[in-house]
Structure 1
Amino acid sequence: MYLTRTKASTPGNRPKKPSLRLKQLLMLTVLALLIPAGSVISVPNASAAGISKPFPQQVNYPGMIKPNHITQSTMNQSVSSYYDYWKSTYLKNNLTSLPGGYYVKGNITGDPDGFTALGSSEGQGYGMIITVLMAGHDSNAQTIFNGLFKTARAYKSSGNPNLMGWVVADSVQAQGHFGSATDGDLDIAYSLILAHQQWGSDGTVNYLNEAKKMITDGIKASYVTTNYRLNLGDWDSKDALNTRPSDWMLSHFRAFYEVTGDPVWIQVIDHLYSVYEQFTTSYSSSTGLISDFVVDNPPKPAPEWYLDEFKETNQYYYNASRFPLRIVMDYAFYGDSRGKAAADKLSAWIKTKTNGSPANIKNGYKMNGTAIGDYATAVFVSPFISAGAANSSNQAWVNAGWDWMKNKKEDYFSDTYNLLNMLFISGNWWVPTAETQPPVTNLALNKQAVTSTIEGTGFEADKAFDGNLMSRWASNEGSDPEWIYVDLGSVQNISAVKLRWEAAYATQYKIQVSSDTGSSPVNWTDVNTTTNGDGGEDNITFAPQNARFVRMFGTVRGTSYGYSLYEFEVYAASTP
C-alpha cells in the first residue's frame, strides 16, 4: 500500500473508537482524585469478561530488551494514552453506505477511480491488530474490531472476494470495485487469529474460520508466487518476481502455519530470508537496508518510479521503512536467529549513522546509507528502535528511542506505525498460540519417480517431487500421450492430488493409481478424469484409494509444447 508522504501529512487511514461510558469516566475521575499524582491508574477488567489477554500483557520476549530507565507501568500508560489519542483521531464509523462499519481514516496515493478515498486495506489491518491488542483497556474493543472486519468484508476485492479491495470510500459502488494490496490482507488475516485467541470464535464472527479461509483461499491463492515470494496484489502474476519487503511479515506467516498446518508458509519464510541475504550481499552489505520494491532473480532494487508510485522506489523509503519491525518480530516471537542477525546489522549501521541519537534518523536512505531524507518521522524512527531491542548493547539507543516515540504525533501513517512499535517494544504485542493444526504431509515429496520422456537435462521426473517450485519436470515437446508417476514406497490410503502446472499443461488427463508389487506397475485404475484443464494449480479429490503408485496420464496438451509440472503432490485420505 502506498500513501501520500509529505512532511505535514504522511500515508494512511484508520477508524475511530468510541469513548468510555459515562459511568466509567466518573469512576476514573474519582480514582484520579484519590490516587497520588504520577501513579498509574489500572481500570478493573470487569468489562473484560471473555477476554483472554486484556491489556497490558507486558510480555518479556526471550533475548529482547525493553527501555530500562522507566517502569513497565509507565510504559503501559504511555501506550494506552497514545492509543486513546490515535483512536480519537483516526478511528471512524461514519459510513452512510455501511452502518456499523468502522475504518481507519488516512490519505492514500494511487488513483481512487473517481471515488473520495477515506482509507485503505492497509489501515484496516493496522487498526484490527491495534484494537484486539488493546482489548481490556478499551471496553468497546470487540465491537470496534467486528466493525472493522465488517468493512473489510464489504469492501471485498474485485479480483478475489476473500481479500479486501485497497480503497475505502463511502459508496456502495466502491464495495467490490478495487483490487487488493498484499499488506492489508496479511494484517487482517493475522488480526483474526489474534481475535480468536482474545475472544474465542463462538460469537457473531467465527474468527478462526474466517482467518483460515482468508489465509488459504485468499492470501495463498493470490499472493504466494511459484517462487515463494509475495506479489503485490491479486491483480499481480503468480510468477511475479517483484515483491515489497514491507509485506515480509514473517511472524504472521508462522501464525498462518500454526492454524493451517500448510508448510508453504515455512517455505515462504525461508525463501524471503534468502532473498534478503542475496540482496544485502549485493547492494547493502554495510547497512542491511533494502529497497521499497525488490525485483528479479537474483534480487535487486526496483527502478525509480516503479509502478509510477514515486521516484524513490529503488531506495529505503516509506514502504521499506516498516521492514525492521517485521523482521525483528520473527526473532522476538519465534527465536529465528536470521531475524536477529538482520536486526543487529541494521541497528549497528543506524546507530553509527546517527551518532546514537534516534532524532537524527532521516526519512529515506540510499542502499549505501547516504541520507535522501531531511527529517525524522516515526515510521522511520520507531522500527529502528524495535530492531535495536534485539541486542542488550543497544540499551541507551532503545531508551532514547522510546522517549522520542511516546509523544510523537504527526499523521495517520506515522502515528499508526508508531503505535504498533510501541505495543511491540513494551511487550504488549503477544504471540498468538492458535489451535495448531497437524502439518499437511505431501506423501510424494522426494519419492522415486518415473516418466515416459523428458525434454532434456534438468527436467527429470524427480523435479516434480522435490518440493521446489523453481524446478520442474517437462516431457518431450509435441507428443501425446505422456505420463509421470511416483512410487510412494508402500501402499497408502490416499484421496487427493495437487498438480502445479508450468505454462505447458494438459487440457485432458487422468489420475491413475496402482497397487502392483515391484517397482514397475502394469495395472492402473482411473480415479479422476479431467477434460477441460486450464493449467495453474489443480486440486483433485477422489474416493479414498489404497495405492502405492500414482500417475498423471496426459492425453491432450494445452499448448504446442509438452507437459510440465512444477510439483506433483499426493495426500492421505484423512488430509483435508
Structure 2
Amino acid sequence: MRRRLFISSGSAVGVSAVLAACGGGGGGGSQAAAGESSVSSAVVPTPASAGAAIPPAAVSGPNRYPFGARLEAYRAGVMPNNVSNASMDETIKRSYDAWKAIAVVDVPTVSGGKAIRFGNSPDALAVSEGMGYGMLITVLMAGHDPQARAIFDGLLTTVRARPAYSIPHPVASKYLMDWKLTIDGSSSSSAGGGYNAMDGDLDIAMALLMADRQWGSDTGSWNYKQEGINTIEGMKAYNFMADGTSKGLATPDVSRTSDYMIGHFRAFAKATGDSWWSTTVIDRCYSLIDRMQTVFSPGVGMMPDFIVATDTAAPIPSPGFRGDFVDTEMHYFANAQRNPWRWGTDYVLSGDARWKNVLDKMMVFFERDTGGDPAKTATGYTLAGNAVSRPYPVWTPKGVVGPQLCGAMIGGEHQSYLNALWTYNAENFSTTYYDAELQLLPMIVASGNWWNP
C-alpha cells in the first residue's frame, strides 16, 4: 500500500512524497507553502549543560509537567548554549501557535474529533503518523496552551473512532489506527484500507503514556494509561517478530529504521512490565543499525529508509520497492531523516552509549558535509554520503535539519553545530506538514522540555 502527499504552494506544482504503508509508518513530504511562517528568536549567550540539575518549578493546576518547567534534568549530552532557556521557550511557543493555527482541524465525520491536517492533500484529511505527532506535541505544550488537553482528547477520539479494522487480530484491529483517512475523516478501502502504520501507533502509544503522567487517568473521559497499553499490546501482536524486529506490510522481513523509537520502547517496558521492549527490541534495533553503518556506510554513518532480509543472518538495505514501493528506500531519505531525533531524544535521558556511538558517526558526517552550515544540508543521502535530490525542486531540507538537533545533543564535540542547528530552525520554522512537526518536536527536546512517562 502506498501513500502520497500532495501540497499546493499557490502554483500548479504539487509535491508528492511516498510515506509508509500498512504495518509500517510513513515519511512525509514538504515544501515552502504559501503562508508558511518564519519564527525568529533573539540570540542570548548562556551555557547549558544537559546533565546539569535544573531546580523544579512550582507546579499548580491540572498540568503536572507544564511546558517550560523542566522538572527532569537530562542525564547526558548538551543543550544549545547560544540562547537562554527563556528564549528557546518563547521560540517554541510562537512556533507551536503558528503550527496549531494551521494543523489542528475538526473531523466532519467524528463527533468531537480533531485531526492533524495532512498538508493540503485533496483526498486525505489525516494519517496516523500526523495524529501521533499532534498528540506528542499537545501533551508537551500543556501549560502554554490551555486547550492542550481538549485537543489531545479530540485527537484520541478520532484515533479510536477509526481503528485498523482489517487487521486479523482482536486487539490490534481495535487499538491500532487506520493509517489514512479520507478528506471527510472516514475510513475506506481506497484510503487506509483498515491497516495500520506502525510509526503513527508508536507515537500514539507514547503520547498516551505521557498523558497519563501529565493529567492522570482518573479524571476525564479516557483512561490514558490503559489506552496506551492496549495500543502497545496491539503492536506487539501485529507489528513485531518474536526476536524484536519490527516488520512492515504483510512482509515480515522488511523493517523501517525510523520505527526504531528507542525511548518509546523503554517507556513501553515500564508501563507494561514487559522487559522484552527494553531488551530484545532495543538490542535488535541496535544490531541492525550497527550493521548498516559498519558494513554499508563506513566512514559516513548513514542508514537506509528500509532494511530487508531481516529474517536472515545478513540483512541488507532495501533494493527498492519493498517498503514504500519507491526506488529511494536504500537511501537516507524521507523516513530515515527522523532517526537523529528519535535516538538523540533517548540518549539524553538514558545515557545508552550505543546510540551515542551511532549518532556521533552521523553528526561528524553532517558537519563535514555542510561545513557547519545546516542550510547546506541535502534533502537526502546515499549510504556513501552522496547527496540525493528529491524529485521536486521546491522540497526544502527543513525536515531533514530539524531532527539533527537531537543528534547533535550527544556531546560537547558537536556544540557549535548544535548551536547553528538551533538558530537555523528558530529562524526558518515551517508550518507545512512534516517539516513543521520534524522541527517543532526536536526543538522541544533540544530546549530541555522533553520528559518520559
The 2-side partners of 1:108 and 1:190 are apart by 27
Residue number in structure 2 paired with 1:187: 203
Distance 1:171 1:52, change over 3 A: closer
Residue number in structure 2 paired with 1:541: none
Please say if residues 306 and 323 of structure 2, whose CA atoms lie closer than 8 Å, have aligned partners that are also in contact.
no
Residue number in structure 2 paired with 1:4: 5
Aligned: 1:369 with 2:385: yes
The 2-side partners of 1:378 and 1:188 are apart by 24
* Residue 117 (structure 1) shift: 1.0
- Aligned pairs for 1:254-293 (under 5 A) are 254-265=266-277, 266-293=279-306
Please say if residues 244 and 281 of structure 2, whose CA atoms lie closer than 8 Å, have aligned partners that are also in contact.
yes
Q: SS of the residue aligned with 2:434?
A: helix
- Aligned pairs for 1:150-229 (under 5 A) are 150-158=157-165, 159=167, 160-169=173-182, 170=184, 172-174=186-188, 177-203=193-219, 204-216=221-233, 218-229=234-245
Residue number in structure 2 paired with 1:334: 350
The 1-side partners of 2:4 and 2:96 are apart by 21
- Residues 34-65 of structure 1, C-alpha deviations (whole Å, 9 max, x = no match): xxxx9xxxxxx999622100011335412221
The 2-side partners of 1:117 and 1:81 are apart by 27
Residue number in structure 2 paired with 1:132: 139
The 2-side partners of 1:46 and 1:283 are apart by 50
The 2-side partners of 1:241 and 1:227 are apart by 12
Residue 211 of structure 2 aligns with an amino acid whose one-letter code is A
Please say if residues 166 and 180 of structure 1, whose CA atoms lie closer than 8 Å, have aligned partners that are also in contact.
yes
Distance 1:365 1:119, change over 3 A: same
Residue 378 of structure 2 aligns with an amino acid whose one-letter code is K
The 2-side partners of 1:241 and 1:256 are apart by 23
Q: 1:52 aligns with which of 64, 74, 77?
A: 64
Residue 226 of structure 2 aligns with an amino acid whose one-letter code is N
Please say if residues 263 and 342 of structure 2, whose CA atoms lie closer than 8 Å, have aligned partners that are also in contact.
yes
Residue number in structure 2 paired with 1:398: 418
CA RMSD of aligned residues (A): 2.5
Q: SS of the residue aligned with 1:405?
A: helix
Q: 1:65 aligns with which of 68, 78, 94?
A: 78
The 1-side partners of 2:224 and 2:320 are apart by 40
Please say if residues 12 and 413 of structure 1, whose CA atoms lie closer than 8 Å, have aligned partners that are also in contact.
yes
Residue number in structure 2 paired with 1:382: 402
Distance 1:325 1:7, change over 3 A: farther
- Aligned pairs for 1:467-482 (under 5 A) are none
Residue 49 of structure 1 aligns with an amino acid whose one-letter code is G
- Residues 262-307 of structure 1, C-alpha deviations (whole Å, 9 max, x = no match): 1220210011101111221110121111101111131211112334
Residue 134 of structure 1 aligns with an amino acid whose one-letter code is M
Distance 1:390 1:7, change over 3 A: farther
Aligned: 1:325 with 2:338: no
Q: SS of the residue aligned with 1:151?
A: helix
Residue number in structure 2 paired with 1:350: 366
Residue 208 of structure 1 aligns with an amino acid whose one-letter code is K
Residue 334 of structure 2 aligns with an amino acid whose one-letter code is Y
- Residues 231-276 of structure 1, C-alpha deviations (whole Å, 9 max, x = no match): 125xx25xx1210011100100000000111122021001110111
The 2-side partners of 1:7 and 1:226 are apart by 43
Aligned: 1:243 with 2:255: yes
Residue number in structure 1 paired with 2:436: 415
Q: SS of the residue aligned with 2:181?
A: strand
The 1-side partners of 2:95 and 2:7 are apart by 22
Please say if residues 379 and 389 of structure 2, whose CA atoms lie closer than 8 Å, have aligned partners that are also in contact.
yes
- Residues 198-225 of structure 1, C-alpha deviations (whole Å, 9 max, x = no match): 0000121001111111111x11111111
Please say if residues 81 and 419 of structure 2, whose CA atoms lie closer than 8 Å, have aligned partners that are also in contact.
yes
Q: SS of the residue aligned with 1:412?
A: coil
Residue 382 of structure 1 aligns with an amino acid whose one-letter code is G
Residue number in structure 2 paired with 1:522: none
The 2-side partners of 1:7 and 1:174 are apart by 24
The 1-side partners of 2:224 and 2:188 are apart by 25
- From the two aligned structures, give the one with the greater strand fraction: 1
Residue 294 of structure 1 aligns with an amino acid whose one-letter code is I
Please say if residues 5 and 118 of structure 2, whose CA atoms lie closer than 8 Å, have aligned partners that are also in contact.
no
* Residue 173 (structure 1) shift: 4.9
Q: SS of the residue aligned with 1:197?
A: helix
Please say if residues 125 and 185 of structure 2, whose CA atoms lie closer than 8 Å, have aligned partners that are also in contact.
no
The 1-side partners of 2:128 and 2:216 are apart by 24
Residue 113 of structure 2 aligns with an amino acid whose one-letter code is G
Distance 1:108 1:321, change over 3 A: farther
Residue 416 of structure 2 aligns with an amino acid whose one-letter code is A
Residue number in structure 2 paired with 1:428: 449
Residue 355 of structure 1 aligns with an amino acid whose one-letter code is G
Worse-superposed segment, 155-164 or 185-194: 155-164
Q: SS of the residue aligned with 1:188?
A: helix
Distance 1:171 1:136, change over 3 A: closer
Q: 1:103 aligns with which of 112, 115, 136?
A: 115
Residue 411 of structure 2 aligns with an amino acid whose one-letter code is N
Q: SS of the residue aligned with 1:314?
A: coil
- Residues 423-457 of structure 1, C-alpha deviations (whole Å, 9 max, x = no match): 1100111122xxxxxxxxxxxxxxxxxxxxxxxxx
Residue 337 of structure 2 aligns with an amino acid whose one-letter code is S
The 1-side partners of 2:143 and 2:289 are apart by 38
* Residue 6 (structure 1) shift: 7.8
Aligned: 1:147 with 2:154: yes
The 1-side partners of 2:299 and 2:324 are apart by 29
* Residue 69 (structure 1) shift: 1.3
Please say if residues 208 and 227 of structure 2, whose CA atoms lie closer than 8 Å, have aligned partners that are also in contact.
yes
- From the two aligned structures, give the one with the greater helix fraction: 2
Unaligned runs of 5+ in 2: 10-14, 18-27, 31-43, 45-56, 168-172
Distance 1:401 1:171, change over 3 A: closer
- Aligned pairs for 1:494-573 (under 5 A) are none
Distance 1:259 1:12, change over 3 A: farther
Residue 84 of structure 1 aligns with an amino acid whose one-letter code is D
The 1-side partners of 2:29 and 2:332 are apart by 19
- Residues 509-528 of structure 1, C-alpha deviations (whole Å, 9 max, x = no match): xxxxxxxxxxxxxxxxxxxx
Please say if residues 47 and 136 of structure 1, whose CA atoms lie closer than 8 Å, have aligned partners that are also in contact.
no
Please say if residues 2 and 319 of structure 1, whose CA atoms lie closer than 8 Å, have aligned partners that are also in contact.
no
Residue 140 of structure 2 aligns with an amino acid whose one-letter code is L
The 2-side partners of 1:102 and 1:152 are apart by 9
Identity %: 34
Residue 377 of structure 1 aligns with an amino acid whose one-letter code is P
Please say if residues 175 and 230 of structure 2, whose CA atoms lie closer than 8 Å, have aligned partners that are also in contact.
yes
